Amino acid sequence: MELTRCVLTAYGRNMNATINEQGHPRTWLITGATSGIGRELTLQALQNGDVVSAIARDTAPLGELVEVHGDRLLLIQADVRDEQAVRNAVEGTIARFGRIDVVANNAGYGLFGAVEEASDAQVRAVFDTNVFGVLNVLRATLPVLRDQRSGHILQGSSVYGQSAHPGVGLLAATKYAVEGLSDALVAEVAPLGVKVTIIEPGLTATSFLANLDVASGLGDYDQTVREIQKGIGELPPSAFSTAARIAAGIRTAVDSPNPPLRLALGTSSATGIRAALQARMEDLDGWKHVSDTVDS
């Protein structure tokens, strides 16, 4: 099988993996696997005895893990924005491990700035990775999971998939999109034995904030967007969850026979989502008299 536009690398001969309910080593396919939550998921899955297909635009940072875990880790260089590269990566995973049990749709990045401030190019770029990249992974992996009649898809979202504040409107737009399609997806694939969980971390100590794309500033938004930006920068380390704990929470959901559709991770996430839901309920109840007037 020819693998074009992606690089497949494998080392070692150690297949000491745990066994899933089908009698096979549990196989993870993880995008954005070289840093943050993706890297921690990769590391913890390997430490748990699972096998991992780790996908990233540059897999070099995972070279040290290959030396330790050998054939249980497959590195595939691919960009989730490239549909054919993603398909090739999935084919390479199947060729190596024979199946996929967990799809961690994790690749993504942030865009910070007022809705008006973000350029068209910036907005299209973040949607290309955070939404269309997610769709590329789904289209490539779902045929495998449907054929197996099993599997668990982890959709990378955040607290901003349910709430937003000044400065994160476009990032939230991508996460809302992922959550919307996932709400439909979960019912579509449930009869086929495939599970879906939307992962909603709060503030996490990763390189995510350092790698934000920042829109050019307009003075009229200094009192909102820039104040939020300043406040986030002044938060103490204790306000951030560690990527290791986030990954451990995700693995708890994967190990559960009845995983949730949405998994808020971190107090900041749960608090923010709860406040957003309460505000929606207040609007529904407060304007019910108007909502009802349109009924015939």
Which residues fall within 8 angstroms of residue 289, CB to CB, at 6 or more apart? Answer: none
Flag whether 106 is in a domain.
Answer: yes
Name residues of the chain where pLDDT drops below 70.
1-24, 206-210
Domain with residue 263: its CATH number is 3.40.50.720
Residue 266 near residue 241 (C-beta atoms within 8 A): yes
pLDDT digits (tens, 9 = 90+) for 50-88: 999 999 999 999 999 999 999 999 999 999 999 999 999
Q: Please give the pLDDT value at position 238.
A: 78
The model's pTM: 0.89
Give residue 220's domain range: 7-283
Distance CA 150, CA 237 (A): 39
Identify the H or E element spanning 52.
strand 51-56
Flag whether 159 is in a domain.
Answer: yes
Distance CA 192, CA 17 (A): 26
Flag whether 289 is in a domain.
Answer: no
Number of H helices, E strands in the chain: 10, 12
Query: Which is it for strands 73-77 and 51-56: parallel, antiparallel or unpaired?
Result: parallel
Q: Please give the pLDDT value at position 155.
A: 98
pLDDT digits (tens, 9 = 90+) for 229-266: 888 888 888 778 899 999 999 999 999 999 999 999 99
Token digits of residue 27: 């196989």
Query: Which is it for strands 111-112 and 102-105: parallel, antiparallel or unpaired?
Result: unpaired
Identify the H or E element spanning 264.
strand 262-265
Flag whether 296 is in a domain.
Answer: no
Q: How many domains does the chain have?
A: 1
Flag whether 211 is in a domain.
Answer: yes
Flag whether 290 is in a domain.
Answer: no
